[in-house]
Structure 1
Amino acid sequence: MRAINRFHVLDTIRRHGPIARVEICERTELSATTVSAITASLIDDGLVAPQHIGDLRNGGRGRPRVMLTLNPDAACIVGVKISPYRMHLVVTDFQGDVLSELGLPVRLDREPLIVLSYLIEDGVRSCVTKAGLTIEAITSLSVALPGVVEYGTGCVRASALIAEPDAQLAEAMVARLGIPTIVESDANAVAQAEYWFGEARALEDFVLVSLENSIGLAVMHEGQLFRGALGLSPNLGDLIVSGPDRAAPVRLATIAEQEAIIAGSEDVESLRESARSGEAAQEIVKRIEGGDEGLILSATRAGKSLGLALANIVTMLAPPRIFLVGSSLALGDHLLNDLIATLADATPEPLAGVSEIVVSMPGDAAWARGAAALALRELYGAPWSTTGPARHAYKNGIQGENHGR
């Protein structure tokens, strides 16, 4: 309960600061005694700084009003977003403001864990240097990638980027950099970015579906990301759906991932080369508009299958809003028309109109910033001492006692 209250106070200051203690009480519904105790501790730890407004020394009248704001220098975080053809990194301060960012071209297709960890290390060191910092100044590292991830242990159970199953990515990064490391699905990272910095800032409940080289799912409920047993992230691409023309059931990924859409073309290799430069969706649109029948069919199938998947999500969760993000949305109406029509047809009548579909196109930096926000969210709820955050120990040791800057 102390950690929860601490998080809500810090997050309120982040969202609304500079802010007075009385307003923190109103927004968090915590007692004045609780807020006073928490903010005093946060000031002692150097996480929050008081600002005096109406100080008599500056010609004001009456008693100075004390406002609270986050200390941006209290921690520095590195967020990383990895896809098959690109890695994007940001360094943020304690408020989540970006100090530096870096995009690097990569080619990742079931690489050994040691190769991926080397690439991440190289990118982290470069981005940190670009921010004018050293590795010793970094409080936490957060890595987001497609696949099935155990948030609590940093184990990647399965990902198209890593050759080994059950890859201990967090352990590998701690060994390389000596920084506490979080590993999360890319869908959860971009959902956190939308919630903290983007179009979902006013929402406590929503669903996000990422449509790229994989199909991810994030569920935000009462401001908390849903995670399954062991902190597992849901992966929508593994959902079983009907195959084309009512064939045997298949996984959604085999119909609706970008690679599956590309496979319908007569010129697959050329489109795969475009994918490596991050321009696959735009090239698919050109081919469709040029009359590529195979691509038209595969895009139609993808849209219909995604519409059915979203109808099931609406049936189970009835979210007020569903965000669609990712590079595949560059297909525009060639994908969305069939998706929206199928969703409308397949949604149960009592739930018609319950869920609003929102198409969002955050850049790679937003996904990486979302990864950093996941680490910040942990730090906001962690007990601190003068040496830094002391978080609960997890299996892989990424959250040891009193690990500080």
Structure 2
Amino acid sequence: MTTEFAPPGPLDARDATRLRVLQCIRSAGAISRTDIAQALDSSPATVTSACVALLEAGLIREEQRPPSENVQRGRPRVMLQINGDALAVAGMKVARDAILVMIADFKGDEIGTYVSPLAQSRMSPDQLVQEVRRALDAACAALDMSPDQIAGLSLGMPGFVNGESSFMHWSSSVTERNVNFAPLFRRDLPCPTFLDNDANLVAKAEHLFGAGKGLRNFLVVTIEHGVGMGIVLNGELYRGERGCGAEFGHMKVQFGGALCQCGQRGCLEAYVGDYAMVRDAFTGRQVDAAKTIQDILDAARGGDTLAQEVLDRASQILGVALANLVNLFDPEHIVLARSRPPFDHPYSETLLNALRQNTVQVDAPLPEITVRNLNEMMWAKGATAHGIEMVTLLKLRGEGAEDAA
């Protein structure tokens, strides 16, 4: 089986405008064309043109409402809303022990979730695509759906990924480097499929549904097995020229330092990633060694000196690194997120203190910091949000229409 479609590619000005209008409608719930133009500081003609395209694609719908109480006469107001029934999209996150699946309607409302276990944390590209297909089929069966009902699938994984082309330079989930997944997706999957860095997709979820909703400039930093970051600048996800930007976890913090899983030394995540902290807490121990972050937290609470030192050092290093982000980007907001175990209060406070002490002092408040303990499905929800955006572009361009119907 081979499905004929291609990634949408870079946005042009018309695409960007249509997506901005759609996001404005999504954020408002229901809004008039006039209010969209005011919110986006755009001309009524530009907004009307974008709305016509969205209506013709079936992605939004009109609703007439009577004039407000203060207006006794006049035509009913025409409000625009997202058409949640337009299509369904699947989002997936490749974790170390499972593929997390969420299927949502076009509003982003959850239809259902599914967890597809993985027998191994690293696999070949072909194996990974087969596991994705198995996860999709199982999720659809569990939700009494057909895979043919899925208009698009977005897949998030850790590593250096070009989200515009589905080209993966390196990932801790894949045994090979420099893999073009696009032809593998076309060969084995039943719908348009898009690949991106998992932290980028959490940023997308925060932008559409979470702490970044309505913001133009914010950062999301994820702390898991490794360290990831998503950057939203001027309302758009920033990926870099090669799709490898925002690799916060591989910022160097120590010349010739600890070995990182990427193969280089001195990376931030080689000190604050889960695997690094477990490694450091395990050093020199033969009995009752820490095997997980939760074990380290429990040992620290119990007075274990080495566990406390590992947590304190990681918290301070991460706090200084976050201060560098504030000094570099001056964002409106930073979301600091992890799934499990939850952030431990004493060490998150150590982190925030290091951030405050190392940020350049000006007569203005620091950006707001949200310390979030992610529901694991937030990763898949981010992938779903990305899939919604990509399928939107295909629909508006008249591409993959059969697949996205």
TM-score if structure 1 supplies the norm length? Answer: 0.85
* Superposed structure 1 runs of 4+ greater than 6 Å apart: 243-249, 267-270
Identity over the aligned pairs, expressed in percent? 27
In 1, the alpha carbon distance for the partners of 2:129 and 2:401 equals 24
- For 1:366-377, what aligned pairs fall within 5 Å after superposition? 366-377=378-389
Tell me the residue number matched to 2:268. 252
The alpha carbon displacement at 1:165 in A equals 0.7
Deviations 1:101-150 (A, max 9, x none): 11233354332122222221111112223333222221111011111111
SS at match of 2:378: helix
Alpha-carbon distance, 1:151 to partner: 0.9
Q: Paired residues, what number?
A: 382
The offset of 1:25, in angstroms, is 2.3
> Aligned partners of 1:245, 1:175: CA distance in 2, in Å?
42
Alpha-carbon separation, structure 1, partners of 2:364 and 2:288: 41
SS in 2 for 1:188: helix
1:51 corresponding residue in structure 2: 63
Q: How does 1:359-370 map to 2 (within 5 A)?
A: 359-370=371-382
Q: Which residue of 2 aligns with 1:209?
A: 221
Per-residue CA deviation, residues 173-195 of structure 1 (Å, 9 max, x unaligned), is 33211321111111111111111
Greater mean deviation of Cα atoms: 241-250 or 186-195: 241-250
* Among candidates 339, 352, 356, match of residue 327 of structure 1: 339
2:307 to 292, 295, 300: 295
Contact 2:27 2:214 in 1 (8 A): no
Q: Which secondary structure does the structure 2 equivalent of 1:384 belong to?
A: helix
Indicate yes or no: 2:174 matched with 1:158: no
- TM-score, normalised with respect to structure 2: 0.85
Give the CA deviation at 1:370.
Answer: 1.0
Q: Structure 2: where are the runs of 5+ without partners? A: 1-12
Q: Which amino acid aligns with 2:28?
A: H
Residue pair 1:211, 1:328 contacting (<8 A) in 2 also: no
**2:230 counterpart of 1:218:** yes
The within-5 A match list for 1:209-358 is 209-242=221-254, 250-263=266-279, 264-265=281-282, 266=285, 271-272=290-291, 280-327=292-339, 330-350=342-362, 353-358=365-370
Q: Which amino acid aligns with 2:275?
A: E
Query: How far did residue 352 of structure 1 move?
Result: 8.0
The 10-residue stretch of structure 1 (137-146 or 322-331) with the greater mean CA deviation from structure 2: 322-331
Structure 1 327/62 Cα, relative in aligned 2: closer, same or farther at 3 Å? closer
Task: Give how far 1:28 is off.
Answer: 2.6
Describe the shift of the 1:50–1:230 C-alpha distance in structure 2 as closer, same or farther (beyond 3 A). Answer: same
What's 2:149 paired with? 137
Give the Cα separation in 2 of the matches to 1:134 and 1:244: 52
Deviations 1:219-260 (A, max 9, x none): 111111111112224222211112799999711122111011
CA positional deviation for 1:369: 0.9
| Contact 2:294–2:341 (8 Å) recurs in 1 | no
Does the 8 Å contact 1:144/1:189 carry over to 2? yes
Report 1:68-107 matches (<5 A): 68-107=80-119
Paired AA for residue 13 in structure 1: I
Against the structure 1 CA distance between its residues 288 and 7, is the aligned structure 2 distance closer, same or farther, given a 3 Å change threshold? same
Q: Distance in 1 between matches of 2:53 and 2:339?
A: 44
Could you tell me whether the CA contact under 8 Å between 1:193 and 1:369 is conserved in 2?
Answer: yes
Q: Structure 1 residues 342 and 244, CA, compared in 2 at 3 Å: closer, same or farther? A: farther
Distance (Å, rounded) in 1 between the aligned partners of 2:50 and 2:392: 12
Structure richer in helix, relative to its length: 1
1:198 counterpart residue number: 210
Q: CA deviation at 1:74?
A: 1.6
Quote the Cα distance in structure 1 between the aligned partners of 2:258 and 2:151.
52
